[in-house]
Amino acid sequence: MVFGVPAILFSIDMRDSVALLRQTGKELQALRAVEGLLGWDQETYMPRRGGTARAESQAALSTVLHEKLTSDAFWGLIQDAAAQPKLSDRDKAMVREFRSDAEKARKIPSDLAADLARTGSLSQQAWSKARSRNAASEFLPWLEKMIVLKRREAECLGYEEKPYDALLDQFEPGSKVSAVKPVLEGLRDGLTPLARRILEKRGRRSTPPVWLDREFPMRIQRRFNKALLHDMGFDLEAGRLDESAHPFTQGLFSGDVRLTTRYSEHDWLTAVFSTLHEGGHGLYEQGLPEEDWGTPLAEAVSLSVHESQSRFWENRVGRSRPYWERYLLVAKEHFGVALEGVTVEDVLTQVTAVKPSFIRVESDEVTYNLHIVLRFELEEAIFSGALEVGGIAEAWNAGMEKLLGIRPGSDAEGFLQDVHWSCGLYGYFPTYAMGNLYAAQIAATIERETGSLDAKIRKGEFAPIREWLRDRIHRHGREIPGPELLRRATGGDLKPEYFLKYLEGKYL
């Protein structure tokens, strides 16, 4: 028996071995959806004291999943399917991706997997405490432990050039330092002088305007944000919008995509941009092919491509003049007197303000990527052995000064600010910057092929934009590797020039 499927099916012909693989994938995915739902619930509605029991449920489920994914039975099934002649291109891709997932999982010994999970969870708790008390020394031993474990993981996974490649590959399949580095260096070298010019021209961001101090009832904000999602084409019959401290998207199935946003009673724009961002992720999840559910063909191809979708809607659409020429009127219908006297210019000044910030998640779209460059440079140094744990804080501060011209006054606003390193997410940050670059490259292509984006945004005509994204990106799932998918969609390799040109046009 493999996952409840009678063994007799094994002896049948090729079509059935592919069908059996699909069936098994569906069963794995069904369990992953439960895992996703537990995680979503934890971040939204779970009572605070439910945490310990929830962690038990999640650990139990992830053990079952790991066992199934690494079982010899599943491996045999993949080999059988791969050996079949005359597979369609899509089936070939499906088998290739199933094999890649199983292969990676099988390379990690179960004691290391358990150690990563356990130490990662404890380390994250230690980080959270250390950050709130600005006590870096309490976190450093955990950071050291996690780096040792991740090094071991990289050795198990294997790499051709650098250990860090094995970590990058977990989020951005196939990517290597030797490919990512020139792109990020090009971005850094173009962005540093450009950011300086933009800051000189526009001056510093002033204090929040009075109108952001007025009352914007949550009840109305919820309705308004759902209206924005509906307009961009997110199907609220196949998804939800809820609230959480850190906004996220959890796709369980193309018919059940959960988004969260974060409301502030006064600054109603905070929620708008979280909603548009997650809405972009959500459209991708809803656009994955339903008929391939349970296979990699119905999964997002990479984190950077996912992020390109969210940043496209958040920044290219949402932080544009035509968007607010349209949606300030809609906002006034919702909020009434609270927005009296507020002009498009007022909103634009607010949503396109530029100012170097210590905190990545609070930074503007101009300086944001410099934060990513810093983290990439440090991660690369850590895993090449050039940077010791004890030197990270100073390397961080020096890097901030060099790239952004500001020096953090504390580790809490320095290297302790992000959760990623505490739980072992190394190689993750570069996908944020690549997502921004892809978004600009995609926007330029849509414009070239379908005409002015601004004209469509002004009229609220989002369908042609959405259809383009669906056709070129969403519906393919993991059939085509990320870089090739983007090459086909945009006609070229990932280049920082599109993004730099976009910023120049918008901000100078």
Q: Is residue 310 at the binding interface for Mg ion, with CB under 5 A as the rule?
A: yes
Q: Is 375 exposed, middle or buried (0-12, 13-18, 19+ CB in 10 A)?
A: buried
Hey, which residues does 241 pair with through a beta bridge? 259
The site for Mg ion, by CB under 5 A, has a size of 1
Q: Report the alpha-carbon distance of residue 447 to residue 450 in Å, rounded.
A: 5
The stretch among 79-87, 302-310, 341-349, 440-448 that binds Mg ion (CB under 5 A) is: 302-310
Q: Which is nearer to Mg ion, 105 or 257 (CB)?
A: 257
Q: Which is nearer to Mg ion, 305 or 342 (CB)?
A: 305
Q: Which is nearer to Mg ion, 22 or 311 (CB)?
A: 311
The CA-to-CA distance between both ends of the chain, in Å, stands at 64
Q: Which is nearer to Mg ion, 276 or 404 (CB)?
A: 276
User: How many residues does this entry show for the chain?
Assistant: 508
Q: Which residues contact 460 (CB under 8 A, 6 or more apart)?
A: 231, 326
Task: Classify 241 as helix, strand or coil.
Answer: strand
Q: Torsion angle of alpha carbons 439, 445, 448, 450, nearest 10°?
A: -90
Q: Smallest distance, Å, CB 281 to Mg ion?
A: 6
The stretch among 216-224, 289-297, 309-317, 488-496 that binds Mg ion (CB under 5 A) is: 309-317
Phi/psi for 239 (5° steps) reads -175, 175
Contacts within 8 Å (CB) and 24+ apart, 418-422: 418/360, 418/375, 419/124, 419/127, 419/128, 421/127, 421/143, 421/146, 422/120, 422/123, 422/124, 422/126, 422/127, 422/128, 422/139, 422/142, 422/143, 422/146
Q: Is residue 24 at the binding interface for Mg ion, with CB under 5 A as the rule?
A: no
Give the number of other CB atoms < 10 A from CB of residue 90: 15
Helix 14-44 × helix 51-70 angle, to 10° = 170
Hey, which residues does 251 pair with through a beta bridge? 257
Query: Contacts with Mg ion in 200-219 (CB under 5 A)?
Result: none
Q: Smallest distance, Å, CB 200 to Mg ion?
A: 30
Within 13 Å of residue 434, how many CA atoms lie on the same side as its CB?
A: 27
Q: Smallest distance, Å, CB 303 to Mg ion?
A: 9
The stretch among 62-70, 177-185, 206-214, 303-311 that binds Mg ion (CB under 5 A) is: 303-311
Q: Is residue 315 at the binding interface for Mg ion, with CB under 5 A as the rule?
A: no
The answer to whether 499 and 311 are in contact (CB under 8 A) is no
Task: Classify 276 as helix, strand or coil.
Answer: helix
Q: Is residue 170 at the binding interface for Mg ion, with CB under 5 A as the rule?
A: no
Q: Which is nearer to Mg ion, 263 or 312 (CB)?
A: 312
Task: Classify 357 as helix, strand or coil.
Answer: coil
The stretch among 13-21, 310-318, 345-353, 415-423 that binds Mg ion (CB under 5 A) is: 310-318
Q: Smallest distance, Å, CB 489 to Mg ion?
A: 19
Q: Smallest distance, Å, CB 229 to Mg ion?
A: 15
Q: Is residue 261 at the binding interface for Mg ion, with CB under 5 A as the rule?
A: no
Give the number of other CB atoms < 10 A from CB of residue 452: 11
Q: Report the alpha-carbon distance of residue 310 to residue 312 in Å, rounded.
A: 5
Q: Report the alpha-carbon distance of residue 315 to residue 273 in Å, rounded.
A: 8
The stretch among 54-62, 305-313, 419-427, 487-495 that binds Mg ion (CB under 5 A) is: 305-313
Q: Which is nearer to Mg ion, 279 or 296 (CB)?
A: 279
The H-assigned helical ranges of 134-176 are: 136-157, 163-171
Q: Which residue is nearest to Mg ion (CB)?
A: 310
Question: Which amino acid would we find at residue 111?
Answer: D
Q: Which is nearer to Mg ion, 24 or 441 (CB)?
A: 441
Q: Which is nearer to Mg ion, 275 or 310 (CB)?
A: 310
The stretch among 82-90, 307-315, 385-393, 484-492 that binds Mg ion (CB under 5 A) is: 307-315
Q: Smallest distance, Å, CB 125 to Mg ion?
A: 24
Q: Smallest distance, Å, CB 251 to Mg ion?
A: 13
Q: Is residue 309 at the binding interface for Mg ion, with CB under 5 A as the rule?
A: no
Q: Which is nearer to Mg ion, 421 or 428 (CB)?
A: 428
Q: Is residue 308 at the binding interface for Mg ion, with CB under 5 A as the rule?
A: no
The answer to whether 309 and 283 are in contact (CB under 8 A) is yes
Active site residues: 278
Q: Smallest distance, Å, CB 109 to Mg ion?
A: 32
Q: Which residues bind to Mg ion, rule: CB under 5 A?
A: 310
